Structure 1
Amino acid sequence: MKDLDTREWLLTNGLGSFASGTVCDARTRTYHGWLIAALEPPGRRTLLLSHLDASLEVAGQLWALSTNFWSGGKIDPLGYQLLRSFEIDPVPSWMWGEEHWRLTRQLAMPSGWVEAGDGESLINAQAPLGNRILIQYRYEGTQVATLRLRPIIGDRDFHHQQSANEGLQFSQLVKPQQIYLQGIRADQVGAPWLLRWSGGEYQPEGVWYWNYYYPEENRRGLGDKEDLYSPGYLSVVLHPGEAVTLEARVGWPEVVLPDLNCNSFEQALQAEQERQSQLYAQAPVTVKGEREMIWHQLLRAGDQFIAYRASISGPTVIAGYPWFNDWGRDTLIALPGLTLATGRFTLARGLLETFGAYCRGGLIPNTFPDAGAEPIYNSIDASLWWIEILGIYLETTQDWEFLAQQYPLVRKIYKALTAGTLYHIRVDAADGLLTWNVPNVALTWMDVVIDGHPVTPRRGKPVEINALWYSALCWMTRWTEKLVNDSRNDSVRLSHQAEHYSQQSRKVKASLQKFWNTERNYLYDTIEPDDRRDARIRPNGVLALSLHHCGFAKAQGRRVLRVACDRLLTPYGLRSLDPSDPAYVGYYKGDRFHRDRAYHQGTVWSWLIGPFIRAWKRFYETEPLPWNPLPLLEHFQEQACLGSISEIFDADPPYAPQGAIAQAWSVAELMRHFEDL
């Protein structure tokens, strides 16, 4: 029996909506579906169209093309056995066949927004073009065939499964070559949407399909069964060389839509390819041959995370697919790779403006609100990352007008951190280091909390936080000195400020030596509130060496990197904990409790390869990078989610990919350093 190829594919549309599934065409996750629509972009993601169950009748013989998992692990039909090929470029394409026939299916998800005229910014986007997906089937054979398509639909939050019950019904209004659909519950009405087609005869026939089974959710210890509904089926007679195109679209348009025909799919595909060509053209990276192909694939992968947030009328970045939203820290860390390395400078500026506008009490939100909700400010480092990335943006673009606009916010962040803000975040007057002390929360990127208890609390003075604080003070010194030279500014006052920042940065630099662990030739991970030192070897020491301004000596940096090479470096990134540590967990598996325990206790994070490369280039300028990018590039092209990079990997060989199938900062850091590889 032919094996099931459960590698995954992903389409996104710039609104937070997405389509995802497997190469073998079976749904293995709750998050698999062809139209998971962001009804309040990029939030309220809702499964509407799961898939089309397909069969083909040729010369009186019926071929079932679908592949479904059912409760108990049964697979039926076995359509994957007829699958002859799959291609991911330019769009996901499947080809089934036997000796005398071939059927090809392609999926395309057009971008939901038209960017501003400069091709770089989403800030001034025009009205949304909508959440929609196009599906095209093309038949080749020696005889006329009949294609039968049964829409399998839902109306539920993308995190949860749907159950058939009397409280959930689906209405459908049948019109020529289209149906209008809507889920109805006793307490609410679902999102209206339509399904239309270029040819065929539709027969209403409502039926529930019970107990779809999702093996990936079972592996993660989560709910793994679902009931989905079908409102009817479409029969299409296809002569050799003919095609049928379908479109699923959110909303019931008030205007007449353009006719759907076989050219509609090609036109949408051409428009998307032209949009991507603009991305290739404006990116400053110049590579040739096979590397150029990989670079273009990375550009497409990075673009999948850029989205428009309706609640702020500005751009944002989805942290990862299929289940993450947009987060402050992740967006800022990913920003240089996604925007500066690609020449999308206006977009970079828009992202900085977006996050800066929500600064409160010196903190940048880690989680953005949907409409009417409040941001969540559970991050000590997001505002520090904002300053760091602002500096990198300014160095890249020389956009000093933007500095003048944002300098008051920089000052507000500084004042809030020094005076004290939420979570008892403050500057320790004795040594100038940044500290915090609130139990049962986690404010750094190692932020897992289980039953109210952080797995890695890191209270006190984390090393990378204070490295960011030092770099921020250096940036502020430089920026203030630059503003002094502008005759429009109060030069005397600014000169005093610049000297103050400079003195404070020197004090912090001296205090950073408290993190030096002579015994281990590494950096302490945290200086705890009672002044104890956490000597565990974590990648935060490498992160501290990678910032634009580094407060550690060359000899120290070299020793840290040698230890990191020995204890943390893997083919796919850096481990989050030294394997010799008693708390080390080599494999990320089991239910949510066990996975969360492993998340920062050994698990490899691929985004950390970026900080490692930057630190290595700083401290070992002429020595070759002790890391081979080929395994990660092969993963990008051939494993897990084809054309993207997983969030995390197991800490022990064979380093299986885990977590989200496509992670923004994982892709972004590879883009940022592609020319260095």
Structure 2
Amino acid sequence: MLNLEESLPREILRTNKSGAYHCTTIVDCNTRKYHGLLVIPVPELDEENHVLLSSLDETVIQHGAEFNLGLHKYQGNNFSPKGHKYIREFDCEKVPVTTYRVGGVLLTKEKVFVHHENRILIRYTLVEAHSATKLRLRPFLAFRSVRQYTHENNEVNKEYQVVENGIKTCMYPGYPELFMQVNKKNEFHFEPDWYRGIEYPKEQERGYDFNEDLYVPGFFEVDIKKGESVVFSAGISDVSTNKLKQIFQHEVNDRTPRDSFYHCLKNSAHQFHNKQGDCHYILAGYPWFKCRARDLFVSLPGLTLAIDEPEEFEDVMETAQKTLRCYMNNIPVDCKIYELDDPDVLLWAVWALQQYAKETTREKCRIKYGDLLLEIIDFIRKGKHNNLFLHENGLLYTHGANKPVTWMNSTIDGHPVIPRTGYVVEVNALWYNALRFVADMLREDENPSLADTLDALAQKTAVSFVETFRNEYGYLLDFVDGNMMDWSVRPNMIFTVAFDYSPLDKIQKKQVLDIVTKELLTPKGLRSLSPKSVGYNPNYVGIQRERDSAYHQGTAWPWLMGFYMEAYLKIYKISGISFVERQLIGFEDEMTNHCIGSLPELFDGNPPFKGRGAVSFAMNVAEMLRILKLLSKYNF
């Protein structure tokens, strides 16, 4: 905690499951423009999140001496007021708890984000003190989008109104009022000022602007006695302050301890849920991702079924099903699921429902989602998708030269870095898997005629798949467009081995698995490109353009590891368990790094395999949970 090189890269994330979050480093020094104590969506303004309360500096006062526990980075690599030097312990097993020692004072600080409410609560407890003690709380306000910065200006509204044991204020029109209250009588001292030149090193590292000014309206002062707890609340509505202790304790009791790899992932899984009115989404990651269709369907089984929450799966699918039907029937969509028209999205939706059938029963899946599955297959077979064409050979063709069409979607100057176009390997693996799955369900539903039709199409697809993608070296081409073939060794072929229905025979599957193991496997996921392939670029660093060029050119992705381990177990069965368990150790080690208790978006493809990108990524967490569930079945 005292060594900022060790503590600043470690972050904590807490969400309210409705789009708002709190994110910062474990020493409460913000290092990203996305960091803040209270970051919430403001739909009246735009679709971005907005930082209202950036941070809160605490000062312990005894005998007139002041000890400021805050920490900010300023120009010239200066940190002030260096409150981290008073930290004695940090624990986040249940909620983040920081213990400070200042002379004879021992103070703990605990934080919770109230579920489904835009409110953060901070509880201060004076564990030890030998004389009268005051606590001063100084809020740093931003009132800006996570994509922008605030700077000293004359437009800021400095007015505030007194509310029960606190104040409310709003810096700019269009924003909700921010209520800051304490659970006991206190004094608010109005001393408006700007703190200038606060820097965010993570943004500097990523090649963006990295400094801003934050507005401080004043500070609260409250007496605190030995053994007493004081609760501070920041939210967009007032709260009865005599209930703050009770609310805080209720939220603590509702938390699952992060006392194991599984519980860390389970807690992280819950953070991606985003309930807005009647709609239930899965966010692709924090702190900047929205709900993306592909990510939703890939991560949904792991985030719900793998932790025995099928009702959550059904709730999300209710929103997703409505959205898919609107898309297929060309009806305007009012739900905020993005990138629905990517050609593989419908096929990933079928895969997600296939996992539901395996975790519940096929009959239940057929009753709830049978019609949707038929509609998806029919939509594709009849060529209604504007960029997915079923050819005579049974394969699906898509145009991807000018616009990314798969998860490998990075662009530079509007053009795909990897223009995967034509017959794409995982799109057709998904298609074959979908045809066989739906055909089997139809046969159980006593509809043999349509089942036979789909099986015949699947058979044609299987023959063409092997002829088109399999090469003489035993691995699969990444995409094929006429005479143009991509011989790069990429991880997308692993899906063909992992899916329940595959056009490959057992020997062919093992050959694919072997080359993926040999060239793409790392302790942190599968590389997106083999080091032996042209263009290998394993380090996701530098300015935006440099990072975009490396995004899928050798970086390692944990979510792919889920399908790799599933494929490994399919080939080696019980004898593969110990190998898979060893692979999981590399991810368990990450629970105390990066975002504590979660997995970052990607890792560098070369040692030391440093975590990069978004601090918490839904597909990565989901696939680890899905593999843990799969392992438990093998070990049963």
Alignment partners' CA distance in 2, 1:340 and 1:424? 31
Aligned to 1:160: 148
Q: Which amino acid aligns with 1:496?
A: S
Residues 197-221 of structure 1 deviation map (CA, whole Å, 9 limit, x = unaligned): 0232111221111111000010011
Aligned to 2:298, the other structure's residue is in SS state: helix
8 A contact 2:39–2:53 mirrored in 1: yes
Residues 288-316 of structure 1 deviation map (CA, whole Å, 9 limit, x = unaligned): xx9x7332222112111122133xx2221
Q: Which amino acid aligns with 1:396?
A: E
Aligned to 1:322: 287
Alignment partners' CA distance in 1, 2:244 and 2:283? 33
Residue 420 of structure 1 deviates from its aligned partner by 2.1
* 2:169 pairs with 1:181: yes
Residues 613-660 of structure 1 deviation map (CA, whole Å, 9 limit, x = unaligned): 111111222433545235434433211111111110001100000011
Aligned to 1:333: 298
Match of 1:354 among 315, 319, 338: 319
Aligned to 2:77: 73
8 A contact 1:587–1:603 mirrored in 2: yes
Matches within 5 A, 1:18-97: 18-40=21-43, 43-97=47-101
* 2:124 pairs with 1:137: yes
Alignment partners' CA distance in 2, 1:404 and 1:631? 39
Aligned to 1:222, the other structure's residue is in SS state: coil
Match of 1:308 among 275, 288, 294: 275
TM-score by length of 2: 0.93
* 2:486 pairs with 1:534: yes
Aligned to 2:438: 476
Residue 399 of structure 1 deviates from its aligned partner by 6.1
Question: Are residues 59 and 39 of structure 1, via their aligned partners in 2, closer, same or farther at CA, if it must alter by over 3 Å?
Answer: same
Residue 136 of structure 1 deviates from its aligned partner by 1.1
Residue 519 of structure 1 deviates from its aligned partner by 3.4
8 A contact 1:25–1:66 mirrored in 2: yes
8 A contact 1:361–1:422 mirrored in 2: no
Q: Which amino acid aligns with 1:416?
A: F
Residue 267 of structure 1 deviates from its aligned partner by 3.2
8 A contact 1:362–1:413 mirrored in 2: no
Aligned to 1:269, the other structure's residue is in SS state: helix
* 2:422 pairs with 1:456: no
Alignment partners' CA distance in 2, 1:622 and 1:260? 54
Aligned to 1:673, the other structure's residue is in SS state: helix
Residue 532 of structure 1 deviates from its aligned partner by 2.2
8 A contact 2:33–2:210 mirrored in 1: yes
Aligned to 1:105, the other structure's residue is in SS state: strand
* 2:224 pairs with 1:238: yes
Structure with greater proportional helix content: 2
Alignment partners' CA distance in 1, 2:432 and 2:426? 10
Question: Are residues 77 and 581 of structure 1, via their aligned partners in 2, closer, same or farther at CA, if it must alter by over 3 Å?
Answer: same
Alignment partners' CA distance in 2, 1:260 and 1:205? 29
Match of 2:233 among 244, 247, 254: 247
8 A contact 1:363–1:377 mirrored in 2: no
Residue 370 of structure 1 deviates from its aligned partner by 7.1
Residue 538 of structure 1 deviates from its aligned partner by 0.4
Unmatched segments (≥5 aa) in structure 1: 113-129, 278-289, 485-493
Match of 1:396 among 337, 359, 383: 359
* 2:507 pairs with 1:521: no
8 A contact 2:42–2:175 mirrored in 1: no
Residues 82-119 of structure 1 deviation map (CA, whole Å, 9 limit, x = unaligned): 1111111211111111341111111101211xxxxxxx
* 2:182 pairs with 1:197: yes
Match of 1:497 among 450, 456, 465: 450
* 2:615 pairs with 1:652: no
* 2:504 pairs with 1:552: yes
- Over the aligned positions, Cα root-mean-square deviation in angstroms equals 2.4
Aligned to 1:359, the other structure's residue is in SS state: helix
Alignment partners' CA distance in 1, 2:515 and 2:533? 14
Question: Are residues 216 and 363 of structure 1, via their aligned partners in 2, closer, same or farther at CA, if it must alter by over 3 Å?
Answer: farther
- Percent of aligned pairs with the same residue? 30
TM-score by length of 1: 0.87
Aligned to 2:619: 665
Alignment partners' CA distance in 1, 2:156 and 2:64? 38
Aligned to 1:414: 377
Q: Which amino acid aligns with 1:192?
A: E
Aligned to 1:118: none
Q: Which amino acid aligns with 1:330?
A: D
Alignment partners' CA distance in 1, 2:329 and 2:234? 37
Residue 405 of structure 1 deviates from its aligned partner by 4.6
Question: Are residues 202 and 645 of structure 1, via their aligned partners in 2, closer, same or farther at CA, if it must alter by over 3 Å?
Answer: same
Residue 447 of structure 1 deviates from its aligned partner by 0.9
Alignment partners' CA distance in 1, 2:52 and 2:233? 13
Residue 482 of structure 1 deviates from its aligned partner by 1.8
* Equivalences, count: 622
